[in-house]
Structure 1
Amino acid sequence: MAENNDNGINTDADQNQTITQNTNSNTNHYDPSLPNSPYFIGANESSGALLVTQMLDANNYHSWARSIKRALRIKNKLGFIDGSLCAPADAENPLMEHWLYCNDIVISWLQNTMTVDIKASTLYVETAHQLWVEIEQRLAQQNAPRIYEIKQGIAALMQGHDTVSTYFSKLKTLLDELINYESIPNCTCGGLKTVVSNQERDWVMKFLMGLNESYKGLKAQILLIKPFPKLKEVYSLIQQEEKRREISNDALATEGMALVSRMDMREVEKKNTESPKKYYCTFCKMAGH
């Protein structure tokens, strides 16, 4: 028997209305005509679209996978590769055709970003999720050689003739890729705070060690800062110093050019003053012509 609404208890009618609203909400979520639906395909989203510019090969799975996930999340198609959006259980379901179409689109998108040899081995997969798992099992396990290459690259990286910005970008790219292989687990208890702090300090040390010797004095000052600064803060300080030097060099160059110009004018004036003395008229017995 349904209770009265005045007693603060939902009636059967209210419960039925809530169920109906939830059902309608779920139906709207999967409505292919709505942009927020995973089954929605935009006018420019063809099977030939290129989600990312990086082509998958045997050495870059983690960075490729990260870019692909981001691109599919934007298009609301991530569920097709992570297995959260499965095909309707009922083959007569009106959404089945939409699911099959989107599944094939996602497979094409993934294969468009693979090298020829990898793509050739995935031609007969049935679902985007199956393709994703297969690629992960084949390429994600080859960690040790890539980690070695990344750490070797970090150790050997020096600024050289690069600007501070270019040098930092190269280092940050290697560090970000290394995190994909050696990420520190999230911890809310604070037990890993020291580990994270030490990692950040190591990154700063490497950045400073790779800088040119012309920054030796500034590097010594940074090492004395307490609390120890983060990598982005140190980069900002070094870049500001680089800009200051550029401005100083420009000012010196301008001053030098002005000095040369003044010296040239003096030479011209001197020649103009001396030139009349070079001529002597034997007829008039006078100098200057």
Structure 2
Amino acid sequence: MPFVVATLDGLRDLVLALEGLRDLGKTKRLWDYMGWLLEPVLEDFDAGNINTDQIQTQNSNVNQSGNPSNIVNHDPTQPNSPYFIGSNDNTGAMLVTHTLDANNYHSWARSLKRALRIKNKLAFIDGSLKEPADPNDPLMEHWLRCNDIVITWMQNTIAVDIKCSTTYAETAHQLWIELEQHFAQQNTPRIFEIKQAISMLLQNEKPVSVYLSKFKTLLDELMNYEAVPNCSCGSSKIVIQNQQRDWVIKFLMGLNDSYKGIKAQILLIKPFPILNEVYSIIQQEEKMREISTEGSSHESMALLARGSFKEKGKKILKGGIDTTAHFAKFQGIHLKDVSKQIQTNQFALIVKFLAI
């Protein structure tokens, strides 16, 4: 376990000190435990299987994080290392689809952090992976390359009028902090715009799915500004429940008046449903209406066609037209073959039906 002390020289000094204590008959149990713990490390060191420079870098990161389980693999050849650069990690990559402007910092930052986490480069913007202190550190060049790539990725997703102010950023962490300071503090005007847009949002001719999508987009952005803090006392649970109830009420207020009945039923449900559950109920109602409308339309078309056919038949009979010849022409058969159908009463039945 090389993270116990700063260097392997320190390990050997510790072993010598414990040997002296053992000779004095003290701390025998401590020596037995430490000897069992450190013996394989010393054997690997004597065999030349351990790179002391790499261990020192790992130890410095452990000291910064305070948690040995968070040791990062610094081998640039390993895909799980933040220093690893894959074939698709080129400087022209666009990690997010929308560019940063003066009004969308929070959504942009959220998308970019998710993309950098996938690339295993999030540590370069949050400051957890710092530049090596020793200029001769073998990881220095790898750190500089990854830092420059992350800066380029960030600049690729920034609007042109903002990008010019980021040209001289030395580190990705510095650029991230500057952008946050410039754009994350302008909260109040944007909160006003979002709440106003929510209050004015109506379904109108839009399907329920489109209406919900716009409504949810505004809510998600609002939550970036007004997130409910975590609390172990349980008070935050009540705040979250009230917040979710307000969302549902605002969503129902924007629905068309044709959903008035189902809205009244939802307001009586106990316990009060969340937004996703309400959307599911409204969507089912919308589908049922579509099915009912399609059935009524098909029935109306059938009745219309039948009425038209009967009316045409009546006109034929009243006009004194030779029904036998007319029927033969309508069916595309020869007149001489009609007599055979008359004998079987098929034609007579049709004429009777038309006369009704």
Partner of 1:192, secondary structure, is: helix
Give 1:147's match in structure 2, choosing from 184, 187, 191.
191
**1:183 is matched by which residue type in structure 2?**
A
Partner of 2:33, secondary structure, is: coil
- The change in CA–CA distance for 1:10 and 1:194 in structure 2 (over 3 A counts) is same
Structure 1: 5+ residue runs without aligned partners? 280-289
Q: Which range moved further: 173-182 or 21-30?
A: 21-30
Deviations along 1:184-215, one digit per CA (max 9) or x if unpaired, are 00122212221111111100100010100000
Deviations along 1:7-43, one digit per CA (max 9) or x if unpaired, are 9952425325369799499598111111111011111
1:17 alignment counterpart = 40
1:103 alignment counterpart = 147
1:45 alignment counterpart = 89
Using the aligned pairs only, state the percent identity: 60
CA distance, structure 2, for counterparts of residue 106 and residue 7 of structure 1: 47
Give 1:88's match in structure 2, choosing from 115, 121, 132.
132
Does residue 186 (structure 1) correspond to residue 209 (structure 2)? The answer is no
Structure 2: 5+ residue runs without aligned partners? 1-17, 23-27, 45-49, 59-70, 324-356
Q: Tell me the TM-score normalized by structure 1.
A: 0.89
- Aligned-pair distance for 1:235? 0.8
- Aligned-pair distance for 1:273? 3.1
Partner of 1:202, secondary structure, is: helix
- The change in CA–CA distance for 1:262 and 1:6 in structure 2 (over 3 A counts) is farther
Give 1:34's match in structure 2, choosing from 60, 65, 78.
78
Q: Which range moved further: 223-232 or 26-35?
A: 26-35
Q: Which range moved further: 9-18 or 58-67?
A: 9-18
2:206 alignment counterpart = 162
- The change in CA–CA distance for 1:267 and 1:8 in structure 2 (over 3 A counts) is farther
CA distance, structure 2, for counterparts of residue 219 and residue 146 of structure 1: 30
CA distance, structure 1, for counterparts of residue 147 and residue 214 of structure 2: 37
**2:231 is matched by which residue type in structure 1?**
C
Q: Which range moved further: 125-134 or 189-198?
A: 189-198
CA distance, structure 2, for counterparts of residue 88 and residue 73 of structure 1: 21
Q: Which range moved further: 25-34 or 261-270?
A: 25-34
Q: Tell me the TM-score normalized by structure 2.
A: 0.73
Partner of 2:235, secondary structure, is: coil
CA distance, structure 1, for counterparts of residue 318 and residue 35 of structure 2: 116
- Aligned-pair distance for 1:140? 0.6
Greater Rg over alpha carbons, structure: 2
Number of matched pairs: 279
Deviations along 1:88-140, one digit per CA (max 9) or x if unpaired, are 11111111111111100000000000100110111011110010001111111
CA distance, structure 2, for counterparts of residue 142 and residue 28 of structure 1: 36
CA distance, structure 2, for counterparts of residue 40 and residue 266 of structure 1: 80
- Aligned-pair distance for 1:275? 4.5
Partner of 1:204, secondary structure, is: helix
CA distance, structure 2, for counterparts of residue 239 and residue 98 of structure 1: 53
- The change in CA–CA distance for 1:219 and 1:263 in structure 2 (over 3 A counts) is same
CA distance, structure 1, for counterparts of residue 40 and residue 223 of structure 2: 49
After TM superposition, the runs of 4+ consecutive aligned structure 1 residues lying more than 4 A away are 5-9, 18-28
Deviations along 1:167-188, one digit per CA (max 9) or x if unpaired, are 1111111011001001000122
1:286 alignment counterpart = none
**1:117 is matched by which residue type in structure 2?**
D
**1:112 is matched by which residue type in structure 2?**
N
Q: Which range moved further: 258-267 or 159-168?
A: 258-267
CA distance, structure 2, for counterparts of residue 82 and residue 28 of structure 1: 15
2:119 alignment counterpart = 75
